[in-house]
């Protein structure tokens, strides 16, 4: 009879250890999930900031070219031509 009690106690101890490990791992998983979501949000914010900075940089390059700078003159002309083509496409779509 004592052997059954020992086995039962051992089983209870192991089960308790497993439950504690499960609870700990579940909490850690939730924490890591929250951290992952937070980091994904931060990445998205950084991407948006980068896109805004790139747009500002492109506008600055265009402004410098218009100002009289010879650097990036060709790029500015190409950008202006692309914008004109885009405007023309919009006008055609509106007229249809």
| Whole-number CA gyration radius for the chain | 32
**71: Cβ contacts below 8 Å, ≥ 6 apart:** 64, 65
Q: What range does the domain containing 25 cover?
A: 2-95
Total domains present in the chain: 1
Give me the tens of pLDDT residue by residue for the chain, a chain 96 residues long: 788 888 899 999 999 999 999 999 999 999 999 999 999 999 999 999 999 999 999 888 777 767 765 666 777 778 788 889 989 998 988 887
Q: What gap in Å lies between CA 55 and CA 26, rounded to an integer?
A: 43
Asked if 76 and 65 touch (Cβ cutoff 8 Å), the reply is yes
pLDDT number for residue 21: 97
Q: What is the DSSP secondary-structure string of 71-88? A: TTHHHHHHHHHHHHHHHH
The helix (H) or strand (E) run that includes residue 45 is helix 2-67
This prediction has a pTM of 0.55
């Amino acid at each position: 009879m004592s052997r059954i009690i020992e086995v039962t106690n051992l089983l209870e101890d192991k089960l308790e250890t497993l439950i504690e490990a499960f609870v700990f791992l579940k909490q850690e998983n939730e924490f890591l999930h929250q951290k992952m979501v937070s980091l994904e949000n931060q990445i998205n914010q950084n991407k948006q900031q980068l896109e805004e900075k790139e747009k500002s940089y492109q506008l600055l390059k265009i402004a410098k070219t218009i100002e009289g700078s010879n650097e990036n003159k060709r790029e500015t002309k190409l950008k202006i031509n692309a914008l004109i083509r885009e405007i023309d496409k919009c006008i055609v779509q509106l007229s249809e």
